[in-house]
Structure 1
């Protein structure tokens, strides 16, 4: 897998002859698109309860993903391309582990949090943003393709599990009360008999 990862990385990583605007766009995508996506979610939450649900899902999911990425990086500290002297790193990252990509995990988490909306366009637009962020991390030489693929899968899994968990909360709250109602009816029937 390492060979395929390195080959794909070298295909996407920006070389020395790329135009300056492409590096500026990749830096913008990497640094600002995740925040703009979060801002769009927050604005939507101000106006619609379904967007509020998606926003709450995204915020809880982002916290969970951040914790998971930190745990994975601590347990399995896989180096970034710079460690192997591969490609050009256009942004300094130091020797921190890179698997999975936190930037990609966060944006894919926020994007998949929108799957609960009745409209598909917001999620597709957010997935486009997330894919652009993932591309920028490769283009700038900061991650291997496996880092961003794992991040996308982790983001999708966590946001879907969190959304399902949030939907269960009202059922759990009403469960004891509704479970007590049949017993009360049964007791009243026994008393009448």
Structure 2
């Protein structure tokens, strides 16, 4: 195995050494239901349910789709290899960086943050919950041995940044 930056290598090895069957099952299940396509579908369903009442809701699926497309386009450009196959608990065949799961979840969480955080009060609870879910999904990718820490960190940053840019662009287009 080639040299990895210390945080990637140390954290990855720690997670691989301490796998527990129940956590593996939970990580596989959560990882399966939060695949990038599933998060995109979820964002479309939420938008469809709310669109009759609030037009800007379409920024949610636009952000998730845009983040996914940017992440997917970056994978072969970056060309980061995944951890060794013998340690992976699920099958992944494309490049590792950025994590598509982390990218999609961060895009979803960022849009909800932009909508609900400024409202204050109890609205901040679901925002915090979605970010906890995004970090948990990112953790599953490490725990299942299919990503390095920097892959999921890059995905979280990319998803949040793309969603922010899409939301800002959408806001400016609707105001002009």
Q: TM-score, normalised by structure 1?
A: 0.74
The answer to whether the Cα contact below 8 Å between 1:37 and 1:107 also exists between their aligned partners in 2 is no
Deviations 1:159-184 (A, max 9, x none): 11111111112222xxxxxxxxxxxx
Shift of 1:25: 0.2
Aligned length: 164
Shift of 1:46: 2.4
Deviations 1:114-151 (A, max 9, x none): 01223212221111111111000000000000000000
2:154 corresponds to 1:150: yes
In structure 2, list runs of 5 or more residues that go unmatched.
none
Shift of 1:43: 4.3
Give 1 or 2 for the bigger CA radius of gyration.
1
Shift of 1:6: 1.1
Q: TM-score, normalised by structure 2?
A: 0.81
2:83 corresponds to 1:81: yes
Q: From the superposition, tell whether residues 89 and 21 of structure 1 become closer, same or farther in structure 2 (CA, over 3 Å).
A: same
Q: From the superposition, tell whether residues 73 and 41 of structure 1 become closer, same or farther in structure 2 (CA, over 3 Å).
A: closer
- The answer for the alignment partner of 2:90 in structure 1 is 91
Q: From the superposition, tell whether residues 61 and 146 of structure 1 become closer, same or farther in structure 2 (CA, over 3 Å).
A: same
Tell me, in whole angstroms, the C-alpha distance in 2 between the residues paired with 1:10 and 1:18: 10
2:12 corresponds to 1:19: no
Q: From the superposition, tell whether residues 4 and 128 of structure 1 become closer, same or farther in structure 2 (CA, over 3 Å).
A: closer
Shift of 1:36: 7.0
